[in-house]
Structure 1
Amino acid sequence: MNIVVNEELKAYIEPLTPDEHEALERSILAEGCRDALVLWGDVLVDGHNRYGICQKHGLPYQTVQNPRFQSMEDVHLWMIDQHLGRRSVSDFQRGVLALRKREIVADRRARAAAAPDAASSSGESAAGASTAENAAGLPSPDPLSSREAIAKAARLSSSQVVMIEKIQKQAAPELVAAVKSGTISINAAAAVATLPAEEQVAAVVAGKDELKQAAKRVRELNKRKPREEARSDESPAATGTRLDPEASTDELQALRIRVAELTAENTELRRQVAQWQAAQPADSTPF
């Protein structure tokens, strides 16, 4: 039969590493292709690596149709759920897939909510339209409306989900590649992702040790910030003491004037004492 390989679907899930692909190839050569390839019509949905290996070595394989798919979104959601349950998928990739699922479901629900008139004119509510969309048997996907739900779907902690979101939003492509390859951990990558893009790339190019050092520097800086902020709260500005340069200059000038006045008064008093002493008669009579 004619099988169509959709490049977008083939690339939708993170490809196997060379070692993983080699292990799969050894397994198929030894035991044959045990799992059937999943098709949507003639489009290959699941089993791209198995299909490629079988084609390469002229090995037989089985196929199975999934008639429940109604759209490419259904295909994507099915692929995501399949890979979220596989042990071979890394923590980072599971987090990415769960976040991707949230976006698909949220977009689908937004479209349903934006067309209530169309649904009501056909005698259907928004919920009815959603039911019709899944009439072929696809269950309504979990909306993953909270970070905890995303973490549960990906078998991660909520903090890991936060870090993966940060990496997706802030990390340079080179840093993302380093996380995917296992060169740097999710925790360390989230720290490095806060640096300017050029510093991220430089750290990746420098290698694993430099990535660790970059993450360490960011963490130490983040630890110092609360202490510095606490010290700033005790500064004269925070306690009400004026630090205005003009005000300080005025106060200094006033002090100088006051010192001059006191010096003049002191000089005058010395002069008066000397004058009084000079006016006193000399007395040499002993007591």
Structure 2
Amino acid sequence: MDIRIDEGLRAYIDPLTEDEHAALERSLLAEGCRDALVLWGDLLVDGHNRHALCVKHNIPFQTIQNPHFKSIEDVHLWMIENHLGRRSVSDFQRGVLALRKKEILLSRTPPDDDSPPWDEDAPAAEGAAPREPVVNSTWKPAVPSRQALARAARISSNTLNQIEKIQKAAAPELVRAVKEGAISINAAAAVSSLPAERQAAAVAGGKKELQQAAREVRQAKAPPPRETLPEVPIENLQDLPAEITRLRQLLAKLTDERDQLKKKVMHLTVALSEARSANGGGDD
């Protein structure tokens, strides 16, 4: 059968890097295509890279149908779950996929409005039973909490928040930088609060400029430092009021008492240990 390729579906998941693509090609040439390509009808769902390489090198491959797909949303959800299960997916990619999953599930949840669940304009037959609400037979899955989404993606809830901020506010150059690992998710979330021009300039300046931009944002948001009393040099303490001198004497006295108590505790500990040894190591 002819396999249909949908470019939107092919691009739904981030493409392989050049190194990953080369490694896959070597594997297919050496071992063949071991995993079947997943189809929905004639539409290719999983295995776009393998399919292209197999066609290029005339490598045989198998296909399998997934009978559970009912809509393109089902396909997207399956693709998301499938990729979240792979260890090679970066934390940023995991967060993006988790947020896509949330959007799909939200779109499937019925709106929370006050409209009656029946047609008010439909006339009721004389003597008919009271109208029953119309039950929507379409499956409406509950949307997981943010914590549950993050846990399923194997990232923290805070990281998911930062990735969502990057998606909403980051310039394309900054998104590319975090995907390539030139900047951490935490730093990219901070830089994304800057104007788009400043973000692009920071990316163009390289890793150090990105780190400097993130540091500037954090410092701008940090609370002002508390005022501290000026330190008095120890050699000038004799010039302070007599109360300071009295407190120094009291501190010296308390320090001496503490040292004496520590010695007593040490002696008691030694004596107790010797007594236990004399009694054969018993606790009595």
Is TM more than 0.5 here? yes
Query: How has the CA–CA distance of structure 1 residues 19 and 213 changed in structure 2, closer, same or farther, with 3 Å as cutoff?
Result: same
> Quick one: which amino acid aligns to residue 159 of structure 2?
Q
Q: Which of the pair is proportionally richer in helix? A: 1
The residue number in structure 1 matching 2:135 is: 125
The residue number in structure 1 matching 2:110 is: 110
Q: Cα distance, 1:222 vs. partner?
A: 2.1
The whole-number CA distance in structure 2 between the counterparts of 1:207 and 1:104 is 36
In our comparison, the structure showing a higher alpha carbon Rg is 1
Structure 1: runs of 5+ lacking an equivalent? 131-139, 232-287
Query: How has the CA–CA distance of structure 1 residues 27 and 112 changed in structure 2, closer, same or farther, with 3 Å as cutoff?
Result: farther
Deviations 1:59-93 (A, max 9, x none): 00000011211111111111111111111111001
> Quick one: which amino acid aligns to residue 178 of structure 2?
V
The whole-number CA distance in structure 2 between the counterparts of 1:115 and 1:30 is 63
Q: Cα distance, 1:28 vs. partner?
A: 1.0
Q: Considering only aligned residues, what root-mean-square deviation do their CA atoms show, in Å?
A: 2.3
Structure 2: runs of 5+ lacking an equivalent? 120-130, 228-284
The residue number in structure 2 matching 1:35 is: 35
> Could you tell me the TM-score, scaled by structure 2's length?
0.71
> Could you tell me the TM-score, scaled by structure 1's length?
0.70
The residue number in structure 2 matching 1:207 is: 206
Counterpart selection for 2:224 from 211, 227, 237: 227
The whole-number CA distance in structure 1 between the counterparts of 2:37 and 2:111 is 32
In 1, are the aligned partners of 2:117 and 2:133 still within 8 Å (CA)? Answer: no
Q: Cα distance, 1:111 vs. partner?
A: 5.8
In 2, are the aligned partners of 1:112 and 1:129 still within 8 Å (CA)? Answer: no
Instruction: Identify which range, 184-193 or 107-116, moves more after superposition.
Output: 107-116
> Quick one: which amino acid aligns to residue 227 of structure 1?
P
In 2, are the aligned partners of 1:73 and 1:104 still within 8 Å (CA)? Answer: yes
Query: How has the CA–CA distance of structure 1 residues 91 and 141 changed in structure 2, closer, same or farther, with 3 Å as cutoff?
Result: farther
The whole-number CA distance in structure 1 between the counterparts of 2:132 and 2:7 is 37
Q: Cα distance, 1:112 vs. partner?
A: 9.5
In 1, are the aligned partners of 2:40 and 2:67 still within 8 Å (CA)? Answer: yes
Q: How does 1:150-165 map to 2 (within 5 A)?
A: 150-165=149-164
In 2, are the aligned partners of 1:188 and 1:215 still within 8 Å (CA)? Answer: yes
In 2, are the aligned partners of 1:167 and 1:190 still within 8 Å (CA)? Answer: yes
The whole-number CA distance in structure 2 between the counterparts of 1:189 and 1:115 is 46
> Quick one: which amino acid aligns to residue 17 of structure 1?
T
The residue number in structure 2 matching 1:7 is: 7
In 2, are the aligned partners of 1:46 and 1:79 still within 8 Å (CA)? Answer: yes
Query: How has the CA–CA distance of structure 1 residues 111 and 42 changed in structure 2, closer, same or farther, with 3 Å as cutoff?
Result: farther
In 2, are the aligned partners of 1:83 and 1:89 still within 8 Å (CA)? Answer: yes
> Quick one: which amino acid aligns to residue 5 of structure 1?
I
Q: Cα distance, 1:217 vs. partner?
A: 1.7
Q: How does 1:255-274 map to 2 (within 5 A)?
A: none
In 2, are the aligned partners of 1:172 and 1:197 still within 8 Å (CA)? Answer: yes
How many aligned residue pairs are there?
Answer: 215
Deviations 1:228-275 (A, max 9, x none): 7x78xxxxxxxxxxxxxxxxxxxxxxxxxxxxxxxxxxxxxxxxxxxx
Query: How has the CA–CA distance of structure 1 residues 32 and 211 changed in structure 2, closer, same or farther, with 3 Å as cutoff?
Result: same
The whole-number CA distance in structure 2 between the counterparts of 1:193 and 1:42 is 41
The whole-number CA distance in structure 1 between the counterparts of 2:36 and 2:60 is 10
The whole-number CA distance in structure 1 between the counterparts of 2:133 and 2:61 is 46
Q: Cα distance, 1:124 vs. partner?
A: 5.6
In 1, are the aligned partners of 2:109 and 2:142 still within 8 Å (CA)? Answer: no
Query: How has the CA–CA distance of structure 1 residues 111 and 37 changed in structure 2, closer, same or farther, with 3 Å as cutoff?
Result: farther
Query: How has the CA–CA distance of structure 1 residues 41 and 159 changed in structure 2, closer, same or farther, with 3 Å as cutoff?
Result: same
Query: How has the CA–CA distance of structure 1 residues 14 and 141 changed in structure 2, closer, same or farther, with 3 Å as cutoff?
Result: farther
The whole-number CA distance in structure 2 between the counterparts of 1:142 and 1:34 is 36
The whole-number CA distance in structure 2 between the counterparts of 1:158 and 1:92 is 13
Query: How has the CA–CA distance of structure 1 residues 50 and 116 changed in structure 2, closer, same or farther, with 3 Å as cutoff?
Result: farther
Could you tell me the percent identity over the aligned residues?
62
Q: Cα distance, 1:30 vs. partner?
A: 1.0
